[in-house]
Amino acid sequence: QRFLRRSSCSCPTLPPGPPRGFLRDNSGDVPRFQHWKTFRAWNRKYGAVISLYLGRTPVIVLGTVEAAHDLLEKRGDIYSGRPRNIVGDEILSGGMRGMGMSYGPRYRRWKSLIQAGLNHTATLSYRPLQSVESSILMRDLLTSQNPLAYKDHVRRFAMSIIFCLAYGRRIKTLSDEVVLQNMKTDGYFGKVHPGKFLVDSWPVLLHLPRFMQWFRWEPERHRALDTALYMSVMNDVKRQMEDGTAQPSMAAYSLSKQHEFGLSDVETAYALSAPWAAGVGSTTASIEVFLLAMLLFPAVQKKAQEEIDSIVGHSRLPGFEDHDSLPYVRALIKEVTRWRCIAPTGFPHATMADDVYQGMFIPQGATVYGNIYAMTTDPAVFPDPDEFRPERFLETSDPRLLSFSTPFGFGRRICPGQNVALQSIFISVVRMLWAFKILPGTDKNGNAIVPSANDFTSGLLTRPTPFPCRFEPRHESAAEVVQNEAERADIESEAWK
């Protein structure tokens, strides 16, 4: 009612957008598959700030970095909420997953634990761990015969880093019981998006007698499983702390300071699961995007390898100490995160008060998407956006490119794990480039299977659909150095047993 009145008087009106359909609802116009493409088309047609309705909720989509900066960053006091997600956040997660929490005291308590584990100094301290895991990844890639096996190796690499920094223990194989349990959680969580359940559109159903609230049954069963898993991995650390065998980890630190964070046991357990929930799929998908780009743009692969050879030579693996001497590789990684961003609409923010921007009314309770996909493919900022061209980040003085972090979101909700992610990506990417010719798989006649640049999954996160990829040692010493480094890593990794 309020929104209708606003838009039909002389007060500022909602931003322009696609024509409202039946009951003013645009849900039918938003495809289930890769909805970000439609959002981008609307941003191009109607402007940098557009509005639509999903059910009864006004939705604002921001299509340029400037608009995202003006609103999500500069007006963070208004734009840092999250939309209500009854099934996903309230029923399935008991309101304990920080990513879905609205901005307020509970979120800030959660965030202080996350910051303690992912701040700049903590992130630098994970480099030895990331180095060890990447050495093991290199051996996995060198020795595996199956051209699709890299997916599991990369996933194990990303998972083990996150699990170690959160709980101080490695994941040696994807058949680890904790991983198998977690797959059930992840699988279900991925399916719980707002709009799927009637109660998200009709919260009045929450007034039904509880035994009649059929929509609770399945998520509540999953919540019990998730809680048991998160508590059990945290309690393992508690026991190790009592025995004096605990490794430094986010869990050990936050348990030792639990009263300062002001979180209960179960809230702490859920907070510790956040890197796991947000950091594994995203890092894995980014490394897959890197591999896809290397198959499709072999000249870029070669140029990066030449840079690495000139700085590192052939007798040792590159490491973090080489980071600052490899500008092309650094630009290549930025381009990986831009060329095919893996969180195309970010995670939705929500407004906590009414606002007016450039004469347009943005109501309290609106869902606000930063359209990362539109921003990272804007030809005015990134000419020929489908081209994978690291040079665009080197031959520029445009501040938007020099401090490029768009793929990680905006303002107070910006990804707190971005530096952990970038370190994992750097160390794996630079070592793969050093050691291997990254080549397409071949069919039974020996012809290269060139993957599509556009075949991606849909969801909150997107990743390339699987494509075969081969890893061929680039020079005489590569295999030997990889094997030796992996043996050393086996010994060093004992620290995180």
- Kindly tell me which residue out of 52, 129, 199, 343 binds ligand HEM, with binding defined by CB under 6 A: 343
Cα–Cα distance, 29 to 366 (Å, whole number): 18
Number of residues that bind ligand HEM (CB under 6 A): 29
Q: Scanning residues 206 to 225, which ones bind ligand HEM (CB under 6 A)?
A: none
- Kindly tell me which residue out of 15, 168, 409, 451 binds ligand HEM, with binding defined by CB under 6 A: 409
Handedness of CA 423, 424, 430, 431 (dihedral sign): positive
Rounded alpha-carbon distances, angstroms, from residue 439 to 21, 394, 496: 48, 26, 33
CB-nearer residue toward ligand HEM: 85 or 468:
85
What does the DSSP 8-state code read for residue 323? Answer: G
Min separation Cβ 165 and ligand HEM, Å:
7
Residue 415 interacting with ligand HEM (CB under 6 A): yes
CB-nearer residue toward ligand HEM: 462 or 486:
462
- Written as six digits, the tokens of 60 are 């604002």
Min separation Cβ 337 and ligand HEM, Å:
6
Cβ atoms 403, 338 nearer than 8 A: no
Min separation Cβ 114 and ligand HEM, Å:
6
Residue 286 interacting with ligand HEM (CB under 6 A): yes
Min separation Cβ 30 and ligand HEM, Å:
19
Beta 57-62 vs 367-370: how paired, if at all? parallel
Q: Scanning residues 345 to 384, which ones bind ligand HEM (CB under 6 A)?
A: 346-347, 349, 370
Dihedral, 270, 271, 277, 282 alpha carbons, nearest 10 = 180
- Kindly tell me which residue out of 416, 440, 451, 468 binds ligand HEM, with binding defined by CB under 6 A: 416
Helices (DSSP H) in 297-398: which residue ranges? 298-312, 327-339, 372-376
Min separation Cβ 161 and ligand HEM, Å:
8
- Written as six digits, the tokens of 271 are 């907070």
Beta 469-473 vs 360-362: how paired, if at all? unpaired
- Written as six digits, the tokens of 492 are 């060093």
Cα–Cα distance, 159 to 139 (Å, whole number): 17
- Kindly tell me which residue out of 83, 88, 168, 275 binds ligand HEM, with binding defined by CB under 6 A: 275
Residue 427 interacting with ligand HEM (CB under 6 A): no
- Written as six digits, the tokens of 383 are 């000419």
Residue 11 marked ligand-binding: no
Min separation Cβ 412 and ligand HEM, Å:
7
Task: State residue 433 phi and psi, 5-degree precision.
Answer: -65, -40
- Kindly tell me which residue out of 408, 426, 436, 456 binds ligand HEM, with binding defined by CB under 6 A: 408
Residue 118 interacting with ligand HEM (CB under 6 A): yes
- Kindly tell me which residue out of 413, 463, 470, 474 binds ligand HEM, with binding defined by CB under 6 A: 413
Handedness of CA 344, 346, 348, 352 (dihedral sign): negative
Residue 440 interacting with ligand HEM (CB under 6 A): no
Cβ atoms 364, 84 nearer than 8 A: no
273 Cβ partners below 8 Å, 6+ apart?
97, 166, 226, 230
CB-nearer residue toward ligand HEM: 29 or 73:
73
- Kindly tell me which residue out of 129, 136, 274, 481 binds ligand HEM, with binding defined by CB under 6 A: 274
Please list, residue by residue across 420-444, b when 16 or more beta carbons sit within 10 angstroms of its beta carbon and e when fewer do.
bbbbbbbbbbbbbbbbbbbbbbeee
Residue 62 interacting with ligand HEM (CB under 6 A): no
Long-range CB pairs of 234-237 (<8 Å, 24+ gap) are 234/167, 234/265, 234/268, 234/269, 234/272, 236/167, 236/169, 237/167, 237/168
Residue 393 interacting with ligand HEM (CB under 6 A): no
Residue 88 interacting with ligand HEM (CB under 6 A): no
Min separation Cβ 443 and ligand HEM, Å:
32
Q: Which residues are annotated as a binding site?
A: 415
Q: Which residues are annotated as a binding site for heme?
A: 415
Name the site residues for ligand HEM (rule: CB under 6 A). 98-99, 114, 118, 162, 274-275, 278-279, 282-283, 286, 342-343, 346-347, 349, 370, 407-410, 413-417, 420-421
